Structure 1
Amino acid sequence: MAKAENEIQSMLSKGMDPKELPWYEPTIDEIPEPAKTILENYSKIPSDRVLQHVVDVRERAYSVFPYPCIGSFRFLDLSIPQSPVYAEVLQRLKSGEKLLDVGCAIGQELRQLVYDGVPSENIYASDLRRDFFDIGYDLFADHETLNCNFIVADIFDSDSELVKKLTGKVSIVNAASFFHLFPWDKQVEAIKRVVTLLRPEPGSLLIGRQAGRTDPEDPDDKENAPGNYRHDLATWKRMWEQVERETGTRWQVDSWREDWQGVDKGFDKYHANVESFKLRFVVRKL
């Protein structure tokens, strides 16, 4: 379990109601695009019911585990279509290559891909909790039509179904709001696992986003290392240099920062003393 999850569990063990956690928003004023279009056109939810439908299903997801991205409705900010390599991703998946969405939660990113024409059989997704998969089917009303391959797995388990089924098999991995759940050393371990899942050839891709911060801690200060390490662009690059040394592989690491917007604006209000941003990345095997 991620250190961040342990910290949430610690809060709950002290008797705190999950809805008292600082990232919980009871409702949302409007559904952002492109999530709104997917729910209306792909899921066929009537436009006048979409908002309440999302709020109701979100409550179920939050009861499974009160992640900040669920409590703040941040899962509605789809990461994949905002990637500068999205057109390439679509072309490659439509041509038969495979994608894994790691830490997929309710699988919102997958529905964007399918809506844009990717055969769902070419998509894999993994998460710790099977309940999220069923809730995703209910949110997007596609129990009978979606054929994505969902795998319950821990990224750190070397004997998991993820490792058994996908080692060296996928061309693209998407990781949205995932690596920042872990301390530095565990992020390195998780990325090294991703390296083994990707096909061992030039062009394999890792894409995604996570929360960053402008003044990250010194990763060499193990005594005061944070439970969920948040990078700036320099430390993200430094971590990949470590991955290259330890795996004997080479990667082109492109990353950039964006300000919080829309449903993201309140995401970090419980870190009021930290200046944070959205860190996006495209990492390509050389």
Structure 2
Amino acid sequence: MASKMSGPVNDREQRYHETLHNVPKAMSELMSSYAGVPRDEQIAHITKLRNEAYAQFPYPCMGTFRFLDLDLARHAAYKDHVLAPLCQPAVPGKPEPLFLDCGCCLGQDLRKLVVDGALPHRLWASDIEPRFIELGFELFRDGDKLPRDHFLCPGNVLIDTQDPSEDQLIKLNDNVTILSISAVFHLFDLEDHKRIVNRCLKLLRKDTGAPVLVIGAQVGAQEGKRVPRRPHIGGYRYQHNSESWEALWREVCGQPQWKDHVEALEVKAKNFGRIRNEDPEADEVITLSEPDPTSDARLWQMFEVWVTFRSSS
């Protein structure tokens, strides 16, 4: 599975910013309160790590410092449906919630959860690139704070295997109650989307009779469509509107291996306009607004997928 950092960008957008003018407010607070990096040292610290990462993984979202936006924390469902259950004390006799960030890259969303009060032992992350995970520990200076065995690599949602050398995610099969997967689906074509949905369903907890959540964000579209990848990569990827996104989940959940086990499915998705904020004092790298077909803003889709399994499955 490709990291969330490797998302495509519009050709109109600049793919590399040599200079970081300011650290967005939420990330700056995270760097000072959690990582212990003073505000006057943050730009240098972040730029050094970014340059090291970009030399190995020249992805546009790394080149443009896109990773400084904490996407999960600004999702409409974050406080009530992600953070709240992860902060609640354990209840005797009831399973604790388990969070997985699939395609975590530098693990910025997971660190934000820790600062906001989520219990660290409930938090897991995965990526296909082990170097991203190590760079995350360097960026946040927290090698002694978080359990490294909760960072699974490789985490490959495109394959179906029982071999942990190919996919460490099998350790969490049937255990995840909150699965965050952002900037992953839009890297692939529709048939791969079906494989990813199937892999997500395998990860989700099925024995409580309560709904479990898949949450995230990705490039959106006014109509579901295939679009060509950049020429040096080749092939196609698929971008969803709310209707095609729901149809994808209903198709997979209706397949023989799932139709008798999924009791209820609720799919929510909303598109926003996404445009780079060039203000050097901006609180965000990317600004989200209501979609405006007359503007140059790209469409960015935030989604929630609630799945309820029959508890006897």
Deviates more, 1:53-62 or 1:147-156: 147-156
Partner of 1:13: none
Please identify runs of 4+ aligned residues in structure 1 that moved more than 4 A.
4-8
2:281 corresponds in structure 1 to none
Given the alignment, which residue of 263, 269, 272 partners 1:258? 272
**Alignment of 1:137 onto 2:137:** yes
Structure-2 change in CA distance of 1:159 and 1:68 (3 Å): farther
Aligned runs of 1:9-48 on 2, under 5 Å? 23-48=15-40
**CA positional deviation for 1:233:** 1.8
2:268 maps to amino acid: D
1:160 to partner: Cα distance: 4.6
1:61 aligns with 2:35: no
Whether 1:212 aligns to 2:220 is yes
Q: Distance in 2 between matches of 1:211 and 1:243?
A: 21
Partner of 1:239: 248
CA distance in 2, matches of 1:231, 1:22: 24
Checking the alignment, whether the CA contact within 8 Å between 2:5 and 2:61 is kept in structure 1 is: no
**CA offsets 1:5-33 (integer angstroms, 9 cap, x no match):** 9999xxxxxxxxxxxx9512212221113
Residue matched to 1:147? 147
Does structure 1 retain, via aligned residues, the 8 Å contact 2:5–2:183? no
State how far apart, in whole Å, the 1-side matches of 2:32 and 2:126 are.
26
Q: 1:105 — aligned with what? A: 105
Q: Partner residue of 2:303?
A: 281
Structure 1, 107-116 or 58-67: larger mean CA deviation: 58-67
Q: Does the 8 Å CA contact 1:108/1:136 hold for their aligned counterparts?
A: yes
Mapped partners of 1:120, 1:254: distance in 2: 28
Relative to structure 2, which stretch is displaced further, 203-212 or 75-84?
75-84
Q: Which runs of 5 or more residues in structure 1 are unaligned?
A: 9-20, 220-224, 266-273
Match of 2:301, SS state, is strand
Alignment of 1:172-183 (within 5 A): 172-183=178-189
Per mean C-alpha deviation after superposition, the further-off stretch among 184-193 and 139-148 is 139-148
* Count of residues in correspondence between the two structures: 260
Quick one: which of 152, 164, 186 aligns to 2:170? Answer: 164
CA shift in 2, pair 1:48/1:99, >3 Å: same
SS at match of 1:176: coil
In the alignment, which residue of structure 2 is the partner of 1:18? none
Pairwise CA distance, 1:215: 4.1
Cα distance per residue 1:70-122 (max 9 Å; x no partner) = 12211111111112222231222234311110011110110000011112221
| Cα drift, residue 46 of structure 1 | 0.9
Please say if 1:230 is aligned against 2:222. no
Residue 54 (structure 1) shift: 1.0
CA–CA separation in structure 1 for the residues paired with 2:248 and 2:84: 30
Instruction: Indicate the percent of aligned positions where both proteins have the same amino acid.
Output: 29
Q: Deviations over 1:127-160 (max 9, x none)?
A: 1111111100111111111226011122123235
Aligned match for 2:44, one of 38, 52, 59: 52
The amino acid that maps onto 1:276 is: R
**Aligned pair in 2 of structure 1 residues 90, 7: CA closer, same or farther (>3 Å)?**
closer
- TM score, norm. by length of structure 1: 0.83
Give the superposed CA RMSD.
2.7
